[in-house]
Structure 1
Amino acid sequence: MNFIKPIAIAFLLPGLFPLHQASSAVTPEESSVFFRIDTLSWDAPLPFDQEVKTGKLENGFQYFIRKNVEPKDRVTMYLATKVGSILETEEEQGLAHFMEHMNFNGLKHFPKNELVDYLQRAGVRFGSDLNAYTSFDQTVYQLPIPSDDPELLQNGLQVIRDWAQDALLSEEEIDKERGVVLEEMRGGRGAQQRMRDKFLPVMLNNSLYAKRLPIGTEEVIKNFPYDVLRDFHTKWYRPDLQALIIVGDVDVKKMEIDVRRLFADLKSPKTPIERVKHTVPLLGRNQFIAVTDPEMTYTMGQISIKHPEEKMKTVGDFRRNILKSVYNNMLNARLSELAQSAAPPFIQAGVGIGGFLGGLDAYNAYFVAKPNEFELGFKAVVRELERVQKYGFTQTEFDRTVAAIGKNNETAYVERDKKKSDSYVNRYLNFYLEDNPALSNEDSYQLYKQLLPTLTRKEVEELGKEFYVDTNRDIIIMAPDKEKDSLPDEQHVLAWFREVAGDEIAAYEDTVSDLPLLSKEPQAGSIASVKDIEEIKTKELTLSNGVTVILKPTVFKNDEILINAFSPGGTSLYSDEDYFSASQAGNLVNSSGVGQFNTVELRKYLTGKNVNISPYISERSEGLSGHTDKEGLLTAFELIYGYFTESRIEDDIFQSYISRMSSMISNQESDPSFVFRKTIMESLYNGNIRRTPITEQLIQKIDKDRALAIYKDRFADASDFVFTIVGSFTEEEIKPYLEKYLAALPALNRKEQAKDLRLYEPELGFEKIVHKGQEEKANVMLTYYGDYTYDKVENLNMNAFESVLSIKLIERLREEESGVYGTGARVSTNKYPRNRYSFTISFGTGVERYESLIVSALDEINKIKHSGPLASDLEKFKIEQKRQLELSLKENKFWMGQLVGAYQRDEDPTYINRYLEDLDKISIESVKEVASKYLKKENLFKFVLLPDEK
C-alpha cells in the first residue's frame, strides 16, 4: 500500500523536475567495436552503442539516428539543447522556459499556432505526443510522428530545424504567452512551493541553482522587453549546444543525408558566449532547516549527505554503480519490512545513493512521520542506517538482491528486439546532455552478467560507510503548521544521532521460509469446452467448475503474460455498515501473506521473480490482476489459487495499515484540493459514505475479521469468474495450469449481479463555490450529468465531442485569452448499473478571471451545439484515433482492456474489428446532436475553488 509515491530524491524538489545523475563515457568516435567481455578490466572505457549512426556537422550540431521498428511506421525525434535556467541573467529569469513556450507559437515555416494545428491533422497529440520541458541545464523538445508518410516525415524534420533556430518571436505572440506562463506559475503555487522557496537555498548551498528555478519570476515574465528574449535566443539557441536524436522506422542513410542538408546552415553568434558549467559547492559543514506551512498535509524528514559526483566512464565505474543499486535495494527492503510492523514508526521511508545536481551525488534517506511522532520516525530510520554500519547485511539478503538484478537483466535482454524507440531516445539523450554511457543492448547485458558474480557483500557494506558520513549533511524537515511546536531544532536532532549511535542495536535477522507456497496440491479439474473467436484470434474456454477463460496469445512481447480475473458483485452487495471493511478487504489481503508465507516471507520469495498477482474488491466486482513471464507461470497460478483458498489478513499488517492510513489522512482537511473534492462529492451524493473520502473516525469502522469474511465470501465461488490471459504463450503451454489451478478453484454456482446502489447525481444542476487556500487562484470544474443512451456509435460521438471541444478550449482560453495554462474536456460513460454520462471541463486561472473564462467555455459549447464542430477539428479526431489504433493493436495491455471490458459489459469482443467503420460514421451533424442532447443548461453543475475569504 503506497500512501505516497516512492520518492527517492524527488522530495528534494517537489513538483519540479527529475534530477539526473551525470556521468561520462567514451565518445562514439572512440568506440568502434562491440565491447568484448573476455578483455574485461576495471579501467576499460565503457563502449558506445554502435547500432546508432552518429555525426557532427562543422557548425557543432550533433545527431544520433537509429532504426527501430517498435512501433512500426513511427519515428521519435528529440531536439536536445544544453540551454536551461542556470544560464539566465537576473533580467532573464524564466526566459529559458518562456523560449520553450515560444517555439510552439510561431516558427519560420509554421507561423502563429500552425505547428500544433498541422501536427494534430497528422494524428499527433499536443501535450502527450508533442511536448517539451525545461530544467536548470537543458531544454528538450519531443516529436513522435508517423514515418510512413514521406511528406510528414520531411515536415517533422523541418519542425525540428525551426525549433533549433527559427522561432519568430513576434511581439503579439510574446505578449499572449506571458499570460499562459503566468498561469502555469500560478498553478504551481501551494504548500510545496512555499516551503521549497525556504529550504532550497540550504539544500543547494546558496549556489546559483537556488536562484534560477526554471519557472522564473512573475516580475520578469510580466515585464521583460521583447529584445531580451530575442537576445537570449540568439545567444544560446546555437548548433554547438544542440543535438538531434531520431529513433524509429526510418531509412538511416537517407535520414542522415536529410539531417546534414537541413541543419548545416545553423549559425552561431560571431563571438559566442562560453557555456559555463555551474556547480553546487561542497561547504564542508552540516546544515539544518525546518519549514512549515498551514496547507501541508504530512511531515517529512530527509537526511541528505552530499558527495562529489562520480562519473561513469569505465567498467569499474559501472560495477560501482551496481554496488550502489544492491545497497539501496537491501536497505529499502528492511525499511519496507519495518513499515509493515504492527506499530510502524513511520508511514513510509526510503534510502538511495544516487545523483544530485551541479556536480554532486548524494546519500538520501527520507521518511514520512506519523502525526506528532517525528522523533520516533527519525530514530527508526537512523537506527536502520546504524544497524547496517555496525553489522552489514546478511549473505541471504545479498544473494537475493543480486539474483533480482540478474533477473531484470535477463528480462531486458529477452525483450531487446521489442524495445520501444523512446527507450533508445532516452539513452542517447542522456549521453548527450548528461554524459551518461550509451551502451548497446548486448554490451549492457554482458556487463551485468559478467560483473554481478564479482560483487561481494563486504564491498557493498564499505560503500555504505563511505557515503553515510556526518560531513556535508543536510537535515530538512517539512511539516504542517500545527506540528510546528513538536518539531525538533538542530541540537535535538544531533542529540538523537548520538543517542541512536549509543544504543544497543541487534543484528538484523533475515527470516525466510523453505516451505512450498501452497499447503496442499490442488485437485485438478478439466477443460469442458472450447469456443474459437477467430476474428480476433482468441479462444473462450469453459472449465469443469464453470470458470470462463479467455486466451489471446500474442507476439507483441517475447516474454510477457498479463492476467486478469473478475466476477460481478463487489462492495455493492454489502451494507453501509460493512462498507469500509468491504472496501479495504482486497488491499488488506493483498498486503498480507498467502498460503504458507507471511508478508515478509512472500516478498522475499518473489524477489527475483517477474511475477505479480494482486486481488481487489471494487464497488461492482472482485478479482485479480497481474503479470508474469513464462518462468514465473507456476508461481503466478499458485498465487491465484492461494488468494482464492489460502488468503489471510495478518494482525501486524492490519494494525500497520490502519495506523498508517490514519496518520496519512490526519491533516487532509488542510489541503485545498482535498476540501474541494470532498465538497463536490458531498454535494452530489448527499453525504453518502460510499462517495465521500474516508475519515479517521470511519477508519476505525474497518473490522479485520469482517473484512476477511467478506473477502472469502467474494472469492468462495469461482464459477462466475472470467479469467483473461494475454501475451507470449501458446494454448498448449497454458492448458496444464488452467486444469491444475483454475479448474480446481471452489465453485458454488451462485448467480450474482452487482447491486444498483442508486447513487446518482441530482437531476438539476447547481453552483457550488468553495473557499479554501492561501493562493490567489481559482480552480473551475463544469460538469454535466445525466441519463445516457449507451451504444458504440453514441460513445464515439461523445469521444469526438470531447476531442473537438478540447481543441477549441485550448485555442480560446489559452491561445486567444491567455487565461489558462491547461484545459480540456473529459467524458465518462457507464453502461451499468444504469446508462449514465458525465462531461467535465476543468481549468485553473486567476480569481479575477474565472467568471469570464466560464462564459468563454460555455460559449464554445454553444457554438458546437448550434453549428457543430469544424470539419477540420473532427478530422483531427478521426486521424488521431486511426493512428492510435495502429499502435494499440500491437499492445498486450490494449487487448487485455478490450477483452475484459467486453465481458464485463456483455458486449461483442470482436467489435474492435468494426471500430473504424463506426468511426467513419461520425459527422458534424452527429457530434452536434450529442452536444445538444447531453449538454443541457439544466444539467450543468458549476464547482469553483477560490481562496479563503478575507
Structure 2
Amino acid sequence: MNLNKQLSVAALALLIASGSAFAQVKKKPAPSPKSKPVASQLLAKADVLPIDSKVIIGKLPNGLTYYIRQNVEPKNKAELYLVNKVGSVLETDDQQGLAHFTEHMAFNGTRDFPKNQMVDYLQKSGVKFGADLNAYTSFNETVYQLPIPTDTAAIFNNGFKILANWAGYVSFDPSEIDKERGVVLEEQRLRGKNAQERLQQQVLPVLLNNSRYALRLPIGKEDILKNFKPETIKSFYHDWYRPDLQAVIAVGDFDPKHVEELIKQNFSGLQNPTAEKPRTKYTVPATPGTAVKIATDKEFPYTLAEIIVKHPGTTVKNTVDYMQSVRIRLFNQMLNARLGELLQKPNPPFLFGRSSYGGFLGEQDAFTSIAVAKTPAELEGAIKAVVAETERARKFGFTLTELERAKQDALVQMGNAYKERDKTRSANFVREYQQHFLEGEAIPGIEYEYNYYVNNINKITVDQMNALAGKFIGDQNRAVIVEAPEKDKATLPTDATLLQWISAAGQGVTAYVDNVSSEPLLSKLPEGTKVVNTVVDSLIGTTTLTLGNGLKVILKPTDYKNDQILINGYAFGGSSLASDDDFTSANLASSIISSSGIAQFNQGMLDKKMAGKNVSITPYISEFAQGISGNSSPADFETALQLIYLYFTQPRKDNDIWESTIAQTKSVLANRGLDPPSVFQDTVSATLSNHNFRGMVTTPERLSKASLDKAYSFYKARFADASNFTFTLVGNFDVETVKPYLEHYLGGLPSTNSKETYKNLNIQPPAGQITKIVNKGEAEKSSVQLVFSGDYEYNDANNIQMDALEEVLNIKLIERLREQESGVYAPGVRAGYHKTPSGRYSITVYFGCAPENVDKMIASTLDEIAKLKQNGAQATDIQKFVAEEARSTREQMKENVFWAGYLASSSQNGENPDQILQHVGNLEQVTVQSTKDAANKYLSGKNFIKLILLPEKK
C-alpha cells in the first residue's frame, strides 16, 4: 500500500506544503488610519462558490456521503474510491500503526471476499494490484482506490460490494493478521531505516511542536506492529470505520442513477457505533518566536536548510478565498522564477532553492523556504541567497512585466483545463471531490473557474501582490531546520549564527531588474523544401511525409485531446559516436544546450519569451540517438517548430550554464558515497555495464577534463544533418493545415545526407554467473537485484511472451515472498528487451528485505522460477495477464502519448505499426507451454548476476 506522508523535513515542506517558509528581518509598519485601505478595496463580496452541477452529492440516512459523476474518459472504466476521515492521529497509544495496518487488512479478507479472494477476483477482471488497486493511509485520512471496468455489469456492480466490504466488513482473521505483520514491517523497513527516517525523528517534534502529528506517524511503532492483539485493531476499526466518517466517490463511464442505487443497496446497511467517539480535529499549536533544530546523520548526503513560517490554515470556500488563492499562485510563480534565474549563474549560490506558500498540517498553511547548499561551507551563502530573494520582493515588490507574465501563464494553464473539459480523466475529478469531503474545499467546476479567471485575474494589481511577502514572512511561529552529514557537524552554525544569517540576508538588496526582449524568435520564415512523397496508412490513420531535405514526418491526427500536439524527432547516432576522450563532454551536451536558450536569447529571456504560450521543446542526445521531444497546443504549433528550427540551426553556447552545471554535478558527487542506495546503485551500474565507464556514474576527474567547446561541437555535429531524422506528430491537427509549416521549418533544416548511424559499443552485462555484495549502511536493511540476460530476437511474438513471463513471475513472487512468507513488501519484476544496437534482453527481480532473510528470499525466488521452467504458468495467472494487458492496451490506444511512443519505436525498429491492431488477439499465443518455453529460454541461469546490498559489517 502507499503509506502517504512518511515525512522527512524536506518532504514535509515539498509534499505537504508544496510551498516554503521564510523569515523576515523587520515587520512593515502598520498603515496609519488615514492611509489604511478601505475594506472594500481589498475584499470583494464573499460569495459562496457554487457546486459543480455535473456532480451528484448525496447522503444516506446513516450519514455516509456520496459523489457521483458521469465521465467518459477513459471509456468503459470507472474510478471508485472509499474515503475515510480516519488516520493515524486517531490512534490510542497502543494502536500506533494500526490505521495503516487496517488498510492492509482490507485486502486480506472481508465478509464477501475471504482471504486473498478479492485481489484474485480483481486481477482476473483486468485490475492490477498496486498499479490500479491500491490505498494509502495518512494522518487524517485513509483512502481506497478501485479503478474498474464498466462494460461488464457483474464486475462493475461488484466494485461497490468491494467498497462496502472495506467500509464495514473487514474480517481481521487472526492468522491473516499474523501473516501481514511481516509485510507491514517490511514496508517500514523499505521506506524507513535510513537517514531520512532518523533525521525525521530528530526534527518533527520541533517542526510540529510535539503535537499529535509528531507522535502519530502513520507507519507506527515496531513493537506494537509485532505484538498487538486482534481485539486492538478490531476496536480501532469499530470506532472509526463508520458511515458518518465515510464517502464513496464514483466517477466514470456509467449511468449515474444506476450507481446511486448501487450505493444505496451496498452502503445503507452500515451502522454507526452506538456510543460514537467524537472525531477530534487535531492542530499544531503555534510556537512563540523561532524554534531551531540542527540535525545530522552519517548517511545523509546533502546540507540543507528550511525556514517554515506557519499561519492559520485556509480552505477555499468563497470568492474572496478563491481570489486570494489566485494571488498566492502568482506570487509563488514569480518568486520561484527569480530563484530559478540564480541557477543560471556560473557559480550558483545553491544546489536547489525554493520558496512558496501553501497548505501544511494540522489546520495550518505555511510559507516555506528550502536551500540546499553545494557544500557545508556554502550553507550561509545558500540560505542568504534564498532569503534575499524574498526580502527583495518584500522591500521592492514585483514588476508589472513579471506579474503580466505570471497572469498569462496562469490563464494558459486554466485555459488548457477548460479546453480539455470533455476529455478530463475521471481520476482528476476524484481528487477534487476527496478534498471537498475531507477539507470542505469548494468544487465549482472548470467552467466556473475558467470564467472566474478570465473575468477577474486582471483585477489583481502589483500592489496587492507586493503586500503578500510582508504577510507571509514573520519571525513568530517559525521553525528553522538544518539537516546535514554527521561528518560536517563541527562546521555547522550555532542556532544564534543561523538566525543571524537569516536576519542579515536582505541587507543591501536592490530592486529586481526584469531582463526581457521584444525581438522575435525568428526574423524571417525559412524557405524550406516541399513534400516529395506521401504515404497514407488508413488502418491506423497515419500519413508519412518525406520532405525535400530527406526528413520524414509521421502524422497521426487524433481527437483524444483538444489542445495537444505531441512532437518527437529522432535520428540514430547519439553519444555512441563520441570518442572515449570526448564522451563526458558529449554526454553533457544536450542538457547544457537545452538550459542555455537559443540564438540571442539566454534561457531566462527565452522562458520569459514563452510566457503565455502552451509549448515545450527540448533537444536530447541518448546513447544511440539524438532528437527533439516536446508538445504544444494547436495555437502554438508554429512557435514549437520555430524552437525546433533554432535548436538545430542556432543552439546557444553559454559558459555560465556550463560552469553552473559542472559545479552542481561535482557538489552532488562529493557526498554520494554516504548514501547506501547510491553506493549500491553505482555497483549495479558498473557490473551491468561490464565496468565500461560510459555506463557508470561520472567522476569529478572526468568532469574536470570535459569542456564546453567539445560539448557544443558534438551537439552541432549531431544536429547538422536532418536527412536522417524522423519526426512523429500526434494530436489535434489537420494534415493539410500543418503541411506548409512542416515544409518551411522542418523542410528548411540543413541536410548533408551523411547516412550516419550508431556504433555498437557492446556495453552489456557480462556473461556467466556473478555475485556482487555491497556492505554499506548501518541499518538492518538489504536490497537485492537478480539479473538474467542474453541475446534476443526482437519481434512481436517474442515480446508478448516476454511481457507474459514478466507479469506471471511478478504474480508468483507477490504470492510467495509477500503473502506466504511475509518476508518482502513489494517484490518486482522488470523485463527489458531491445533491438538497438543489437538484440538483447534482461529480466530483473528486485526486492528489499531483512538482511537475515536475503538467502531465503533468493532461494524462494529461484524456486518459483524453477516451477515455471518445469510446469509453465498456471492458467489462472495467464488469465490475469491477458485481462490486464488487453484492458491496458485498449485504454492506451485512446491516448496521444501511447501513439507518440509507439510510432517512434516502430520506426526505429523497422516494424509495421499496423501490428498493434492484432495485439489483443495475439495474446492467445500465451499458453502454459509457451510460458514454460519462455522461462527455460530467458531464465536459464546461464547469464545470472546477483547484486546484494547488506549492512556494514559490525
The question of a shared fold, defined as TM-score above 0.5 by the shorter chain, is answered with: yes
Q: Which residue of 1 aligns with 2:40?
A: none
Q: Secondary structure at the match of 1:525?
A: coil
Structure 2 CA distance, aligned partners of 1:685 and 1:233? Answer: 50
Counterpart pick for 2:318 among 314, 318, 322: 314
Structure 2 CA distance, aligned partners of 1:268 and 1:210? Answer: 29
Q: Supply the AA of the counterpart residue of 2:195.
A: A
Q: Which residue of 2 aligns with 1:37?
A: none
* 1:478-529 deviations in Å (ceiling 9; x for gaps): 111222222111111222233334x322111000011111255312211111
Q: Is the 8 A contact 1:21 1:434 kept in 2?
A: no
1:384 maps onto 2:381 in alignment: no
Q: Which residue of 2 aligns with 1:164?
A: 167
* 1:694-744 deviations in Å (ceiling 9; x for gaps): 122222122100100000000000000001000000012211210110000
Tell me the CA shift for residue 787 of structure 1. Answer: 1.2
* 1:903-922 deviations in Å (ceiling 9; x for gaps): 11111111101212321112
Q: Which moved more, 1:738-747 or 1:254-263?
A: 254-263
Q: Is the 8 A contact 2:317 2:440 kept in 1?
A: no
Q: Supply the AA of the counterpart residue of 1:99.
A: T
1:12 maps onto 2:32 in alignment: no
Q: Which residue of 2 aligns with 1:937?
A: 941
Q: Secondary structure at the match of 1:840?
A: strand
Tell me the CA shift for residue 177 of structure 1. Answer: 0.3
* 1:847-890 deviations in Å (ceiling 9; x for gaps): 11111111111000010100000001001101111111111110
Tell me the CA shift for residue 224 of structure 1. Answer: 0.4
Q: Is the 8 A contact 1:550 1:722 kept in 2?
A: yes
Ranges in structure 2 where 5+ consecutive residues have no aligned partner? 20-42
Q: Supply the AA of the counterpart residue of 1:156.
A: G
Structure 1 CA distance, aligned partners of 2:595 and 2:505? Answer: 30
Structure 2 CA distance, aligned partners of 1:948 and 1:863? Answer: 34
Structure 1 CA distance, aligned partners of 2:64 and 2:699? Answer: 57
Counterpart pick for 1:285 among 289, 298, 301: 289
Q: Is the 8 A contact 1:783 1:941 kept in 2?
A: yes
Q: Is the 8 A contact 1:339 1:346 kept in 2?
A: yes
Q: Which moved more, 1:479-488 or 1:190-199?
A: 479-488
Structure 2 CA distance, aligned partners of 1:477 and 1:716? Answer: 48
Structure 2 CA distance, aligned partners of 1:477 and 1:483? Answer: 12
Counterpart pick for 2:560 among 547, 556, 559: 556
Ranges in structure 1 where 5+ consecutive residues have no aligned partner? 1-7, 23-39
Structure 2 counterparts to residues 452-491 of structure 1, below 5 A: 452-491=457-496
Q: Which residue of 2 aligns with 1:834?
A: 838
Q: Supply the AA of the counterpart residue of 2:354.
A: G
1:330 maps onto 2:334 in alignment: yes
Tell me the CA shift for residue 48 of structure 1. Answer: 1.1
Structure 2 CA distance, aligned partners of 1:813 and 1:107? Answer: 22
Q: Summarize the Cα distance change of 1:505–1:41 in structure 2 as closer, same or farther, 3 Å threshold.
A: closer
Structure 2 counterparts to residues 183-194 of structure 1, below 5 A: 183-188=186-191, 189-194=193-198
Work out the number of aligned pairs and report it.
Answer: 925
Tell me the CA shift for residue 535 of structure 1. Answer: 1.1
Q: Is the 8 A contact 2:7 2:200 kept in 1?
A: no
Structure 2 counterparts to residues 212-251 of structure 1, below 5 A: 212-251=216-255
Q: Which residue of 1 aligns with 2:656?
A: 652
Q: Which residue of 2 aligns with 1:741?
A: 745
Structure 2 counterparts to residues 771-810 of structure 1, below 5 A: 771-810=775-814
Structure 2 counterparts to residues 364-375 of structure 1, below 5 A: 364-371=368-375, 372-375=377-380
Q: Supply the AA of the counterpart residue of 2:96.
A: Q
Q: Is the 8 A contact 2:357 2:367 kept in 1?
A: yes
Counterpart pick for 2:124 among 108, 121, 146: 121
Q: Summarize the Cα distance change of 1:91–1:13 in structure 2 as closer, same or farther, 3 Å threshold.
A: farther
Tell me the CA shift for residue 310 of structure 1. Answer: 2.0
Q: Which residue of 2 aligns with 1:73?
A: 76
Counterpart pick for 1:427 among 413, 420, 432: 432
1:769 maps onto 2:766 in alignment: no
1:303 maps onto 2:300 in alignment: no
Q: Supply the AA of the counterpart residue of 2:126.
A: G
1:949 maps onto 2:953 in alignment: yes
Structure 1 CA distance, aligned partners of 2:515 and 2:11? Answer: 36
Counterpart pick for 1:541 among 530, 533, 545: 545
Q: Which residue of 1 aligns with 2:698?
A: 694
Q: Which residue of 1 aligns with 2:140?
A: 137
Counterpart pick for 1:871 among 870, 875, 879: 875
Q: Supply the AA of the counterpart residue of 1:362.
A: A
1:443 maps onto 2:448 in alignment: yes
Q: Secondary structure at the match of 1:938?
A: coil
Q: Secondary structure at the match of 1:937?
A: coil
Q: Which residue of 1 aligns with 2:104?
A: 101
Q: Which residue of 2 aligns with 1:30?
A: none
Aligned residues: CA RMSD: 1.6
Q: Which residue of 2 aligns with 1:408?
A: 413
Q: Secondary structure at the match of 2:773?
A: strand
Q: Supply the AA of the counterpart residue of 1:181.
A: V
Q: Is the 8 A contact 1:9 1:352 kept in 2?
A: no
Tell me the CA shift for residue 408 of structure 1. Answer: 1.2
Structure 2 CA distance, aligned partners of 1:184 and 1:680? Answer: 23
Q: Which residue of 2 aligns with 1:3?
A: none
Structure 2 CA distance, aligned partners of 1:756 and 1:261? Answer: 63
Q: Supply the AA of the counterpart residue of 1:751.
A: K
Counterpart pick for 2:707 among 699, 703, 710: 703
Q: Supply the AA of the counterpart residue of 1:600.
A: G
Q: Secondary structure at the match of 1:783?
A: strand
Structure 2 CA distance, aligned partners of 1:221 and 1:483? Answer: 35
Counterpart pick for 1:715 among 713, 716, 719: 719
Q: Summarize the Cα distance change of 1:44–1:15 in structure 2 as closer, same or farther, 3 Å threshold.
A: closer
Tell me the CA shift for residue 234 of structure 1. Answer: 0.5
Tell me the CA shift for residue 687 of structure 1. Answer: 2.5
* 1:524-577 deviations in Å (ceiling 9; x for gaps): 211111011111010111000000000000000011000000000001111111
Q: Which residue of 2 aligns with 1:52?
A: 55
TM-score normalised per structure 1? 0.96
Tell me the CA shift for residue 365 of structure 1. Answer: 0.8
Q: Summarize the Cα distance change of 1:21–1:598 in structure 2 as closer, same or farther, 3 Å threshold.
A: closer
Q: Which residue of 2 aligns with 1:26?
A: none
Q: Secondary structure at the match of 1:654?
A: helix
Structure 1 CA distance, aligned partners of 2:666 and 2:214? Answer: 35
1:399 maps onto 2:396 in alignment: no
Q: Supply the AA of the counterpart residue of 2:487.
A: K
Counterpart pick for 1:340 among 344, 360, 377: 344
Tell me the CA shift for residue 68 of structure 1. Answer: 0.4
Structure 2 CA distance, aligned partners of 1:680 and 1:770? Answer: 10
1:363 maps onto 2:367 in alignment: yes
Q: Which residue of 2 aligns with 1:417?
A: 422
Structure 1 CA distance, aligned partners of 2:576 and 2:15? Answer: 41
Tell me the CA shift for residue 430 of structure 1. Answer: 0.7
Q: Is the 8 A contact 2:569 2:627 kept in 1?
A: yes
Q: Supply the AA of the counterpart residue of 1:149.
A: T
Structure 1 CA distance, aligned partners of 2:14 and 2:508? Answer: 41
Tell me the CA shift for residue 269 of structure 1. Answer: 1.0
Counterpart pick for 1:665 among 643, 665, 669: 669
Structure 1 CA distance, aligned partners of 2:577 and 2:805? Answer: 36
Q: Which residue of 2 aligns with 1:682?
A: 686
Q: Is the 8 A contact 1:519 1:596 kept in 2?
A: no
Tell me the CA shift for residue 16 of structure 1. Answer: 11
Q: Supply the AA of the counterpart residue of 2:479.
A: D
Q: Secondary structure at the match of 1:164?
A: helix
Q: Is the 8 A contact 1:9 1:364 kept in 2?
A: no
Q: Supply the AA of the counterpart residue of 2:608.
A: K
Structure 2 CA distance, aligned partners of 1:179 and 1:603? Answer: 50
Structure 2 CA distance, aligned partners of 1:498 and 1:9? Answer: 32
Q: Which residue of 2 aligns with 1:528?
A: 532
Identity of aligned residues (%): 45
1:148 maps onto 2:159 in alignment: no
Structure 1 CA distance, aligned partners of 2:277 and 2:68? Answer: 29
Tell me the CA shift for residue 288 of structure 1. Answer: 0.6
Q: Is the 8 A contact 1:515 1:596 kept in 2?
A: no
